[in-house]
Amino acid sequence: MNLLEVQSLSRTYGSGETAVHALKEACFSVPRGEFVAIVGESGSGKSTLLNLLGALDTPTSGKVLIDGKDIFAMKDAQLTVFRRRNIGFIFQAFNLIPELTVEQNILFPVLLDHQKPDAGYLDELLTVLNLKGRRNHLPSQLSGGQQQRVAIGRALFTRPSLILADEPTGNLDSQNSSEVIALLREASRAYEQTIIMITHNRSIAQSADRVLQVSDGVLTDFGRCRG
């Protein structure tokens, strides 16, 4: 069963002669547990696509179905809860809360949802992310690679079915970039999480199961990269 279905998804900004067609009739589906990379030049529409998949923007037309649910048919309050429980976000800028420790940053989405954290799963994630010895450190006491691993842990901790990663290696050196991509691949396999990652780095994109390209708002499927 496909976890994600995108049907004729379009986004236009403005109108008339000044209209910008950022995304044009995008259609694709992603099975549960697949790791998909989306590549494209700056301004190609890949960030617009990711924002629509995460319901951070509203399409001009088309549908996004996550686990069979049409997210844009939901009311605002329902969508907010659905997004918090089913979609994890990983940003290039990490977006950690500076006053919170590593552990508190990872737990934050669950606490925000008034849920009881799973202590065993937290320890498992801290071990996998090689952060167990840093659990009480603040973001300012961490390297860039460590901060991005905290951001990944935060995205994983709610056990979302879909993870959206926006240039997750953009601020990292090559070694840390490789480690982050390996962690994302492991998450897709071990936890059956579907991952959509946008990147301008085509060599990083080749680590994914499948590569999509966006150019001038038009999506092209390059097919599978790994067996």
Q: What is the pLDDT of residues 142-196, one digit of tens each?
A: 999 899 899 999 998 988 999 999 988 888 888 888 888 888 888 788 888 899 9
Question: What pLDDT score does 72 carry?
Answer: 97
| Residue spans of beta strands (DSSP E) within the chain | 2-13, 20-31, 35-39, 61-66, 69-70, 87-91, 162-166, 194-199, 210-215, 218-224
Q: What is the pLDDT of residues 5-24, one digit of tens each?
A: 999 999 999 999 899 999 99
Residue 26: pLDDT band with limits 50, 70, 90: very high
Q: What is the pLDDT of residues 185-210, one digit of tens each?
A: 887 888 888 999 999 888 889 989 99
Q: What is the pLDDT of residues 82-124, one digit of tens each?
A: 998 999 999 888 889 999 999 999 999 888 888 889 999 999 9
Contact 39, 205 (CB under 8 A): yes
The answer, yes or no, to whether residue 42 has pLDDT greater than 90, is no
For every residue of 47-73, DSSP letters joined together read HHHHHHHTTSS--SEEEEEETTEEGGG
Residue 225: pLDDT band with limits 50, 70, 90: very low
* Domain-wise residue ranges, the chain: 32-61+75-224
Superfamily assignment of 32-61+75-224 in CATH? Answer: P-loop containing nucleotide triphosphate hydrolases (3.40.50.300)
Question: What pLDDT score does 227 carry?
Answer: 40
